[in-house]
Every structure is written in structure tokens, then in C-alpha cells.
Amino acid sequence: MLINSAVYDDGRMVAEPGLDGVSEALEARQTGFVWIALRDPTDDELHLLQHELNLPALAVEDARKGHQRPKVEEYGDMLFAAMHLLEGGPDGELQVGEVHVFVGARFIVSVRHRSDQGFLGVRGRAEREPDLLRQGPGFVFYALMDAVVDRYFPLMDAIEAELEQLEETMFRPHQDRQAVVQRLFGLKQRLATLRHAVTPLLEVSAKLHGGRVPVVCKALQDYFRDVYDHLLRIQASIDAARETIIAATQVNLTLVTIDESLVTKRLAAWAAIFAASTALAGIWGMNFEKMPELKWEFGYPMALGAIVLVSSALYWRFKHLKWL
């Protein structure tokens, strides 16, 4: 589906050609570039675009099939980039969409898959600041990348907040340990999703601001270094969170074992108390003919007293040992 198609020259929009008028619109003027946004495009739309802008077949094939890992590939002077769009689902799980970007000397095409996150904000900001737009497709590419990366931060923040809450409650008594381990596992999975969006992008974005930089990004190295720095920051947070989760999972196992130990202690304590009572009662239930205390006036209360006494003594003993 075509979302938008606009030709910009000298920072202002000058035409809105359809997909099939793109090459004409570009040839009509010496300068300027076209900015096209597609969403879940049909094969026809992609083929038309490939023809109009002379896009490389392998890259178009990637964009058609989707499910790419984040990457930036050079095809001659053109760049093809794939990035993950992440959205927090209702159950906390992260939904993975994608955006593919073709960047040429006179065009930029973004193809969005399986995601509701649009880039209207990016277009709006770009149109409000003609100075920036004047820098061409490379700047738009940066702006898109920046927007994608900025959306990772709140997801990371949510993970960190949940993790911090878990850390705090974990050591409190009477926790549902299974729920803790389940939430930790869920966090780990979300973190993995985030990492698979961030880490490959980090690697490729490193090549956009240092060493041999692709020609369309040449003048914008400081901007791409800024994106790189943001990714590095998320990466550091991911690593930290991951370590915390690993440690917390292990700690949780220890806590589970400690819990079990406590239960075993209580079991042992109560078993001992009842067993002592039963043994005493059993003794006075024996049928020997000569058991003088059986004939005492206060034999029975005395026996009951003895049983209570022993039970209480054991109870206090175990209380003192913290077994109860």
C-alpha cells in the first residue's frame, strides 16, 4: 500500500507523483529527490518501484519476503537497510515488524511490514525544517533510523522497571517463586527480541560514521555517530539487564531451595511434636497389670499435663531454632 510519495527540492515538496510517475518526476528536474513510503506492499508495487528506480533485484527480493535481520548493504552507490520495528503487545511480549529502506542519490523508499508505527512524525519534522531536508536522502535515512532507534528506549525502560520491581520483591517472604521465575523468563525473551534488533544495527551503524562511509551518508557522519551512540547506550542497558536476569534466576533457585528447607524444618518440627504425644499416649495405653499411675486420683490430668508439657517444650525449642 502506498502511504506517501513526494518529490522535495531545495527543502520544499514540489510534487506528489504516483508510483508509476516517479522516474518521470525525477527526470523533470535536475535536483531534488523523491521520498516514498510503502506499507505491506504488494509484489506489483515492489516490481513497479524496482523498475522505476532501478533497484537491485536481491534487495527488492529481501524487501518482498521480509523477516530480514537488521542490516545495511551497499549496492554500488545505493544503500539497502533493514531495521526491526518493535511494539509492546498487550501481554508484554514484543511484536516484531520491519522497515526496509532503499537510499539512492535521488530517492529514499521506506517499506514497512507488520507494524502500525508510521513515520509521519519524521516527515512532519523534516518538512518543518527545510534546512535539514535540503541535505537530501541521506538525511531522511538518518531521520528514519533515529526514529526507529528512539522507539527502542521506552521498551528498554519498561523492561528495566519490571526488573527493578522484581529485584525488590524477590527477597520478601512468601513470594510466588514460580511467578518470579516465569516473569524473569519472559523478561529474558523480550530482552532477546530487543537485542536482536539492536546488536546487528549497532554493528552496521558503526560503518556509517567511521572508516569508509557510504557516499550518501558522507556529509552526515556526526548524525550517524549520534545514532550509533544511542544504540550503544541501549546495548549497554541490555547487557546489564541480561546479567541481572541471569543472576536473579540463579538467586531465585537458591531462594526456592531455602524455602523448601524451611518447609522441611516445619514438617520435621510438627512431626516431632505429634510423635512425642503419640508415644506418651501409647505408653499409658499399654496393658501391664502393674502400672501404678493408672490408678492415681489425678493420673489422667497428670498424663494430659505431661503431654502438653512435652509438646510445649518442643514447640518453644523449635520456635527458638526458627524451625517454626
Which residues, 157 to 176, sit near a second copy by CB under 8 A?
Answer: 167, 171
One of 48, 75, 151, 310 touching a second copy (CB under 8 A): 75
Q: How far is CA 195 from CA 26, 69, 155, 185, in A?
A: 39, 11, 11, 15
Q: Of these, 189, 218, 305, 319, which contacts a second copy (CB under 8 A)? A: 189
Q: Are 23 and 109 in contact (CB under 8 A)?
A: no
Residue 231 to residues 67, 145, 217, 250, 302: CA-CA distances in angstroms?
21, 11, 18, 29, 79
Are the beta carbons of 14 and 8 closer than 8 angstroms?
A: yes
Q: Quick one: which of 275, 305, 312, 313 contacts a second copy (CB under 8 A)?
A: 275
Which one, 13 or 306, has the nearer CB to a second copy?
306
Question: Is residue 185 a contact residue for a second copy (CB under 8 A)?
Answer: yes
Instruction: Return the residue of 14, 240, 309, 313 that touches a second copy, per CB under 8 A.
Output: 240
DSSP state letter for 89:
-
Give me the least distance between CB of 256 and a second copy, in Å please: 5
Q: Which of 3, 265, 310, 315 binds a second copy (CB under 8 A)?
A: 265
The smaller minimum CB distance to a second copy, of residues 54 and 189, is found at 189
Q: Is 200 in the site for a second copy (CB under 8 A)?
A: yes
| Site membership for a second copy, residue 27 (CB under 8 A) | no
43 or 171, CB closer to a second copy? 171
* Nearest-angstrom CA–CA distance, 248 and 167: 7
Q: What's the min distance (Å) between Cβ of 129 and a second copy?
A: 13
Query: CA-CA distances (angstroms) from residue 268 to 10, 116, 260, 271, 315?
Result: 84, 58, 12, 5, 11
Quick one: cell of 108? 529514499
| Choices 44-52, 107-115, 124-132, 302-310 (CB under 8 A): range interacting with a second copy | 302-310
